[in-house]
Structure 1
């Protein structure tokens, strides 16, 4: 499909998830960059009337700058598919799987990608006894940006078993994923699609003085130091990049993704575990994908334009596939 510039891009941002403030920062950053590169941009703060607003805008492509539910879990992707609109990042099926940490394990582990063990527990089970030996991690099954993550240690001030009155994600979520705590270092690797297929942009280490890489550390300036590229052995860098690309491919990601790791450096390669793959990485000034892209020689403006054109390529490929399928049925 050929377009004459300026392409019209609707930047979808905001919404009502916990990550709304981050999405607004991402969305406005993307919109500013696209306008500076000559695109016509419509900014849409997503409400319940999103379908009507998209219909009225009639864009050539939608830049999905939403984070969390419903922008990252397949809901918006399904709507955009029904409307026949091209959109950035991953499609419906990939989004449904990747937002669910347990489904992600079921998809990736059989392909040789190591992830922590664990199981789903209800809050009632937590109040009766620990699901795993302490220390262990509790996290929501379907949230991003480390929202609602807690590390339960032997000296945690939450009781043993956990007291229902103690502050923690069990007060907000009926079910949680319990995983063994992996000591060590926080690493992350971004993947970007291109003409020659997906490529890793590099590996960043996230150095946190106190606590862990939670929502506050991710989006509060000065709370986390990004070491990019990570000062780690070359074989660990390569392994992170390989796992990130494989996760991107197995899950069927499009555009860009970011895979997060925990690495116990005392165990070498055997201590590296994938925690999750994020199909809608942040695009804020503190975000990791733009930072790694810059290290790879890709400016912020170039990055968002690449994602727009990749979205159009994927949309055209889907249309061609549907056309061939229809011809086969005729």
Structure 2
């Protein structure tokens, strides 16, 4: 399958849409299973929304669920490029499964490559890399799933999250711990549910933001930061948990562009762009930040607002009316269909195609 980009004007662009589908397994969750086990997967409504957006741009779309049969399906279809939203099936490197397969078969695809996706899914490893570029991030340590003892000298409060998950998977309403006893109990519970290492991170009190990025190189566009504003201002530890995302209409509101100083906005946008380029992201990504309160970041000698990188998602959700990335685009005057086609156009240009969607 040696797909070389050529002039596509003679026929519709043939796009394969790869995805992992929710199977509603959460409705039959056993006591020892995580209730958010399918949080990263997409609904058929999202898959069809992307398909419709691409077909509206004169594409011929083949739906290709990212299962064990995918390589056989690829052999049956003549695909020009893959639009990938698949999260993968298993393991710390699962988001890399589809890009790796596409590279093996020499099929172009949207989004970041397997190396970037592997790195970004490992939260601690991403922080370690970015720290060498002086990107500010909360203090953290990792508790191995096989570890029986760990330091009790960490600064509290802290947030506990699975080290290699997305979509707030494993981040519950009780993810904040205030002492070593709570930490030990929550880590033990989470390891039994998610069967992986846990990231323990200093909780940064303050405001929460996410920044969307679209495109590559000189055409890269960084959208203004969107703030996630929690309606319950009495809660001292508001976090963008799985439950909050599921019930966002009742618990939060979004503001984009965020009401922040020009200096803070510029720093956040420039930091997001720097992270995107350091990790060699492609086509689109979303990056989360916390802005500490004046003198209230839980660090000594802190008397001014500071921006902290929390995590990056180089494969952000595209669920219309729900996912943050299309919300950010819409706040900035870009409708859903245009966003989807823009992601594909960015990939087409990278691969040297002579076909672009309007």
Same fold (TM over 0.5): yes
- Structure 2 stretches lacking a partner, 5+ long: 1-5, 23-36, 233-237, 296-302, 354-358
Counterparts of 1:14-33 in structure 2, within 5 Å, are 14=20, 18-22=38-42, 24-33=44-53
Q: Report the equivalent of 2:15.
A: 9
Q: Distance in 2 between matches of 1:36 and 1:119?
A: 47
1:241 to 2:269 alignment: yes
- TM-score between both structures, scaled by the size of structure 2: 0.79
Q: Distance in 2 between matches of 1:41 and 1:53?
A: 13
- Using the TM superposition, give the Cα deviation of residue 57 of structure 1 relative to its aligned residue in structure 2, in angstroms: 2.2
SS at match of 2:322: coil
- Using the TM superposition, give the Cα deviation of residue 31 of structure 1 relative to its aligned residue in structure 2, in angstroms: 1.1
User: Is 1:129–1:161's contact at 8 Å kept on the other side of the alignment?
Assistant: no
SS at match of 2:260: coil
SS at match of 1:146: coil
Q: Report the equivalent of 1:152.
A: 176
Residue deviations 1:298-318 (CA, integer Å, cap 9, x gap) = 22111111211221222349x
Matched residues, number:
315
Q: 1:261 aligns with which of 256, 276, 289?
A: 289
- Structure 1 stretches lacking a partner, 5+ long: 318-330
User: Is 1:29–1:283's contact at 8 Å kept on the other side of the alignment?
Assistant: no
- TM-score between both structures, scaled by the size of structure 1: 0.85
User: Is 1:126–1:162's contact at 8 Å kept on the other side of the alignment?
Assistant: no
Q: Distance in 2 between matches of 1:170 and 1:232?
A: 41
Query: Which has the higher mean CA deviation after the structures are superposed, 11-20 or 181-190?
Result: 11-20
Counterparts of 1:108-147 in structure 2, within 5 Å, are 108-123=130-145, 125=147, 130=152, 132-147=154-169
- Using the TM superposition, give the Cα deviation of residue 36 of structure 1 relative to its aligned residue in structure 2, in angstroms: 2.5
Query: Which has the higher mean CA deviation after the structures are superposed, 200-209 or 253-262?
Result: 200-209
Q: Distance in 2 between matches of 1:126 and 1:92?
A: 32
Q: Report the equivalent of 2:32.
A: none
1:65 to 2:71 alignment: no
User: Is 2:211–2:222's contact at 8 Å kept on the other side of the alignment?
Assistant: yes
1:281 to 2:330 alignment: no
Residue deviations 1:194-251 (CA, integer Å, cap 9, x gap) = 5723221111011233542122322445143111111122211111111111111000
- Using the TM superposition, give the Cα deviation of residue 279 of structure 1 relative to its aligned residue in structure 2, in angstroms: 0.4
Query: Which has the higher mean CA deviation after the structures are superposed, 116-125 or 285-294?
Result: 116-125
- The root-mean-square deviation of aligned C-alpha atoms, in Å, is 2.8
Query: Which has the higher mean CA deviation after the structures are superposed, 20-29 or 224-233?
Result: 20-29
Counterparts of 1:178-217 in structure 2, within 5 Å, are 178-194=200-216, 196-209=218-231, 211-217=238-244
Q: Distance in 2 between matches of 1:28 and 1:269?
A: 46
Q: Distance in 2 between matches of 1:265 and 1:161?
A: 24
User: Is 2:88–2:98's contact at 8 Å kept on the other side of the alignment?
Assistant: no
Q: Report the equivalent of 2:97.
A: 75
User: Is 1:23–1:65's contact at 8 Å kept on the other side of the alignment?
Assistant: no
- Using the TM superposition, give the Cα deviation of residue 81 of structure 1 relative to its aligned residue in structure 2, in angstroms: 0.4
Q: 1:171 to 1:134 in 2, by over 3 A?
A: farther
Q: 2:344 aligns with which of 296, 308, 325?
A: 308
Query: Which has the higher mean CA deviation after the structures are superposed, 258-267 or 20-29?
Result: 20-29
Query: Which has the higher mean CA deviation after the structures are superposed, 47-56 or 195-204?
Result: 195-204
Q: Distance in 2 between matches of 1:141 and 1:24?
A: 28
SS at match of 2:95: coil
1:101 to 2:128 alignment: no
User: Is 2:87–2:95's contact at 8 Å kept on the other side of the alignment?
Assistant: no
- Using the TM superposition, give the Cα deviation of residue 269 of structure 1 relative to its aligned residue in structure 2, in angstroms: 6.5
SS at match of 1:95: helix
